[in-house]
Amino acid sequence: MKNFEDRLDKYAELVIKVGINIQQGQILVISASITAADFVRKVCRYAYLNGAHYVYVKWNDEKLLRLECELMSEQGLEYTPDWLVKGYEEMANEGAAFLYILSPHLQDIKGIDPARLDKMEYAAAMAFRPFTEKLTSMQVSWTVIALPTEAWAATIFPKMEPNDGLERLWEELFKILKLDSENPILAWEQHMKRLNKRAALLNDMYFRYLHFKAEGTDLTIELPQHHHWVHGMEKNNNGIPFICNIPTEEIYTTPLKTGVNGVVKNTRPLVYDGQIIDDFTFIFKDGKIIDYTTKNGLDALQGILKTDEGAKYIGEVALVSHDSAISASNLMFYHALFDENASCHLAIGQGYISGLQEEHRANDASSINSSMIHIDFMIGSEHLHVNGISEDGSVKAILVNGKWETDFNI
């Protein structure tokens, strides 16, 4: 592929300068698959060139994970070393930034007993929960990105030869990530300004309810009294901006835990632990999922909803135009990092406290959902209508046929 290495360099630079926004003297913690080693080295180079004084890389080996799932004792599945947990907490306390480089669809868990996998994931989630809360409350900087793999490309382009599919996936990602522009960093700065204007407009309009309507969906979501619309750029405890996900197209907030009522149907598959959950419907009453159906992935869906009590409630509502760069690709990526940015979506589980006005977060935190999980599922399409309902009952269109209404088309 022409200029491939140059674009990879631009990707690494974008992640460090705009995503993580590394600061002088800061620690960077990278979590990545061993298959991504070459790209991780590029990222480390740009981290050091831009001021990082130490980069720690936590390597993941998908084949080793399978061995662990198959052969570990029951006690081993539930074991997370204290020193590892404390290390992450200490680095977070020192103001470290955390970069997660995903290599989608490398994890081979076919044939693994789901109960063993659930036990391992639950134990790790419990052990790391204090650290995870530092991420979800935006106390520290963190960014999630993805690196294409042949396995992922084969899922998206099953009829193409592996190398051809991988090249096609890279080409699509270079466009989506704005890496084919003359100045990707400037392009991203302009993109984030547009998202910021939309979020500010929604905050000014101060809707108390959102109504989602499409085939199979008729859902009303109440927002907390002191809700706050945000986008992918957050600020850590030191006021340093960072982007949580690259790519990002969403404007989102946190719903009132008990304020979701009606029915909603997914519009894109949800991939969870290598299993595809699709054609599913949730029925909500007073915020809680009281019934559900699915034609694919029942066991996986039941596993999600049994995680904890908060797994039956919603922690995020996000608005994305159907003509976003990812949606315009007309591809199903089978990964939430991309599919959620092609579609309006909700998230089962943990609510982000950044979805509350800063001065009210301490008092209002109990009004939003708490859970060990945060799993996005897509509900947007070219048929979706979203209305905002104000305190006085007045109604205004936000999305019409899946796209921003004129006032929001900034």
Residue 2: pLDDT band by 50, 70, 90 thresholds? low
DSSP-assigned states of every residue in 1-35: -TTHHHHHHHHHHHIIIIII---TT-EEEEEEEGG
Q: Which of 370, 373, 316, 305 is nearest to 340 (CA)?
A: 316
Residue-wise pLDDT for 353-397, tens only, equals 999 999 999 899 999 999 999 999 999 999 999 999 999 999 999
* Token duo for residue 323: 């003509």
Q: What angle do CA 175, 176, 180 make, to 5 degrees?
A: 30
Instruction: Indicate the pTM of the whole model.
Output: 0.92
Question: Token pair 């530092």 is at which residue?
Answer: 134
> Among 86-90, 114-118, 308-312, 335-339, which stretch is predicted with the lowest mean pLDDT?
114-118
| Run of H or E including 283 | strand 275-285
Distance, in Å, from the CA atom of 203 to the CA atom of 228, rounded to the nearest integer, reads: 6
Q: Which amino acid is at 343?
A: S
Q: Give the CA diameter of the chain.
A: 60
**What's the sign of the alpha-carbon dihedral 87, 91, 92, 98?**
negative
Distance, in Å, from the CA atom of 259 to the CA atom of 313, rounded to the nearest integer, reads: 10
Residue-wise pLDDT for 167-199, tens only, equals 999 999 999 999 999 999 999 999 999 999 999
Residue-wise pLDDT for 228-255, tens only, equals 999 999 999 999 999 999 999 999 999 9
Beta bridge partners, 397, equal 387
Mean pLDDT of the chain: 94
Task: Give pLDDT, residue 1.
Answer: 65
